[in-house]
Amino acid sequence: MLEIYTVCDTISRMIKYTDAHCHFTGQILPESIAGLITNSARFNDWNTVVNVARSNPNIHGAIGLHPWYLTDLPSDWAETLTSVLAQNPELLVGEIGLDKHHPDLPTQEHVFTRQLQIATQMHRGVCVHCVGVWDKMLHILRGQGVSLPPFILFHGFRGPVDQIQRLADKYNAYFSYNHRLNEKYVLATPRDRILAESDSATPTDVVDNVSRLAEISGLDIGDMADIINANMGRMLNNG
């Protein structure tokens, strides 16, 4: 499990950052990055993510099927996902979700729901992408009843602001923000649920996003990094 990361208080303060959602394929973390979650998007990415996550205890992997890449899936994809998760007990499920700008929403809903069910069965947190179809997303989540993953990370969150607290309370949800962050979302997010992400292959991109979150929140960047790092540790320990 991930230890809660802390910022080193020295004469020249060395700030450490965590990246809650990226697509990193390296094995050596940049010096400023204490930990990250790297996500797959396609079925063929899964082995890469598994190998990257095995290479470093502070790299946490998530495998799943992104709603943009659902064509030509093998018929046994769900069985393969279950098997890979069973062999790798630290893996999360992600990046999964729904996107109104991509075709065949019924297939997206089916694949997302099945992955959500597998994550629940395997007791794995999920990293969720949702664009423009929050009504469908919330309908699917309600349909799961009390059978839910241990946590849900909504990455690049742009959902209903008035649902943030409810999502946090009902689904143990956390909310990560990238360069497209919006002030109203940041201010509406409980401080113990806020995360930062690069959503890129370069996790150091997260630094500017933490700086912006700090500015919006009226905090020193080091204090903001401390909050985010503690939230990341708590989330990964299912807290």
Q: How confident is the prediction along the chain (239 residues), in pLDDT tens digits per residue?
A: 444 444 444 334 689 999 999 999 999 999 999 999 999 999 999 999 999 999 999 999 999 999 999 999 999 999 999 999 999 999 999 999 999 999 899 999 999 999 999 999 999 999 999 999 999 999 999 999 989 999 999 999 999 999 999 999 999 999 999 999 899 999 999 999 999 999 999 999 999 999 999 999 999 999 999 999 999 999 999 86
Residue 211 amino acid letter:
S
pLDDT score recorded for residue 13: 63
Bridge pairing between strands 17-22 and 194-196? unpaired
Three-class secondary structure of residue 96 per DSSP = strand
Closest CA to 158 of 141, 177, 139: 177
Alpha-carbon span 24 to 39, nearest angstrom: 8
Angle between helices 105-121 and 77-87 (to 10 degrees): 30
28: left (phi over 0), alpha (psi -120 to 50) or beta: beta
Measured CA distances, 164 to 119, 153, 176, 220 (Å): 22, 12, 12, 24
Host H or E run for residue 84: helix 77-87
Bridge pairing between strands 59-63 and 33-39? parallel
Question: What is this structure's pTM?
Answer: 0.93
Count Cα neighbours of 60 within 13 Å in the Cβ-side half-sphere.
Answer: 28
Backbone angles phi, psi at 214, to 5 degrees: -65, -45
How many other β-carbons are positioned within 10 Å of the β-carbon of residue 60? 25
Token code pair at residue 95: 């990046």
Cα torsion through 97, 119, 29, 9, rounded to 10: 100
